Amino acid sequence: MTATAGTRTEGGAPPASRRALVAGSVGNFIEWYEFGVYGYFATIIAARFFTPEGASDIEALVKTYASFALAFFFRPVGAALFGRVGDRIGRRPTLILVVLLMTAATAAIGLLPTYATVGAAAPWLLTLVRVVQGLSAGGEFGGAVSVMTEFAPPGRRGLYGAWQSFTVALGLLAGAGLAALLATVLSEEALGDWGWRLPFLLAVPLGLVALWLRLRLEETPSFRRTHHETAGASAPRTLPAPAPAAVPPPGAAATARAIALGVGRLMGWSAAGYTFLVVMPSYLQTTLGASFRQALVATVVANAGFALAILPAGALSDRIGRRAVMTAGTVLLILLAFPLLNLLQDPDASTAAKSAAVFAAGAAVGLLAGPGPAMLAEMFPTTVRYTGLGLAYALSNAVFSGSAGLVVTELIKRTGDVDIPAWYVAIVCAVGLPALLSLRGDDHRRALRD
């Protein structure tokens, strides 16, 4: 029988499972809060760190998104590094280390000197901090999802995994809401001078709360059984018990194939999520002439739609399957990408109509984000789950999320085509659709593999 011990423990020890959900979620909240804040303040960061004398605003924005993308490309490195540690020594200690690094790097952005103070060193310092953030963020997802799904009770793995995505939405909403609040209560000059630093410095108290929660976290029963009990039981009594690494992992080729397939299944979520939820503020400002406040309000509405769809989508996938829900979300994004964007471009469209458009875009992404974590966890056995699902997620985000702002901004600059975001979302979703269709319809009913 391959059912995880985590599912059996859940029925008898609900507090442990609740702690797993909270402790697993809190790091994702901090991570995506920061990434959201960086995206929402992209135009201000561009002016402070990437605008020497004579540089254009669009050139500085491209450089800002290049730094944004660089952090994403270090995520796979972090996923491989911390994933290996998490699969060998445990999810709990690895997640504690990850949240410490993430908190320190995020707070550091709020303290960095700008171009006006240290000149050309400013963008390099910012990029270095973004690299550290990328490494820590790469180690976050695999561990958090492993903890949540390995503690999930039977028939609720989709809902438990969806909490990872839900706290991503909460992080983005918190970042957008705080940015909108600061833009409202501070003058434009104060916001540009020092106000933008406040959201990054807020990572310190958030990180301390996350650390406390993770120190109280138990190791997952699935990991304990697979890496300790099985190894100890199989050891000859005349010899020392083998280390956890003695449990042979699946073949490297099989794991690599599963990771590649996971990237294919996630690419639509990655591209659409960042295009509609993070890149949108800069697009609305630089391309459509919206104000900073208008752009942030639109982003808050989009993220509200995203957040409200996630948990129902995860729960629905426990009933009808991951394939059905994620395929429906992908098809919706393909069909709606151009109409939604064209509505935003229409100067005669009402505010209510535009709000409904961005809300619908966020909700469609939520149909992918809800079942996505559980879908990934079901693709890998316990011995490589942290590494495998973390790498699949990190690679997909590196290619299709981290580069979204850079690709969209650069292509609009070169072509003048304001429909580039819709083209990007529709094409990437269409390419990833066959990988989603390859999911088995009953994956949600199968136990996690040891």
Residue 15 pLDDT greater than 60, yes or no? yes
- In the block, residue with structure tokens 């929402």: 40
**CATH code of 382's domain:** 1.20.1250.20
Task: Report how many domains make up the chain.
Answer: 1
Asked if residue 383 belongs to a domain, the reply is yes
Continuous H helices in 186-220:
188-193, 198-201, 203-215
37/174 Cα distance (integer angstroms):
9
Residue 274 pLDDT greater than 80, yes or no? yes
280/257 Cα distance (integer angstroms):
33
442/375 Cα distance (integer angstroms):
11
Contact of 67 with 86, CB cutoff 8 Å: no
Q: Which helix (H) or strand (E) holds 139?
A: helix 121-151
State how far the alpha carbon of 276 is from the alpha carbons of 2, 202, 358, in Å: 39, 25, 8
193/438 Cα distance (integer angstroms):
51
pLDDT score recorded for residue 163: 93
Higher-pLDDT residue of 20, 438: 438
Name the pLDDT band for 1 (thresholds 50, 70, 90).
Answer: very low
- Tell me the pLDDT tens digit for each residue of 158-185: 999 999 999 888 887 888 788 888 888 9
pLDDT score recorded for residue 108: 92
Half-sphere CA count of 405, side-chain side, radius 13 A? 35
Residue 66 pLDDT greater than 80, yes or no? no
- Tell me the pLDDT tens digit for each residue of 239-263: 444 444 444 556 788 899 999 999 9
Asked if residue 18 belongs to a domain, the reply is yes
Asked if residue 255 belongs to a domain, the reply is yes
- 389-393: average pLDDT: 94
Asked if residue 329 belongs to a domain, the reply is yes
- Tell me the pLDDT tens digit for each residue of 120-172: 888 888 888 888 988 998 899 999 999 999 888 888 899 999 999 998 888 87
Asked if residue 241 belongs to a domain, the reply is no
Asked if residue 447 belongs to a domain, the reply is no
Q: Which two tokens stand for residue 137?
A: 């963020």
Asked if residue 380 belongs to a domain, the reply is yes
Domain that holds residue 207: 5-224+250-440
Name the pLDDT band for 325 (thresholds 50, 70, 90).
Answer: very high
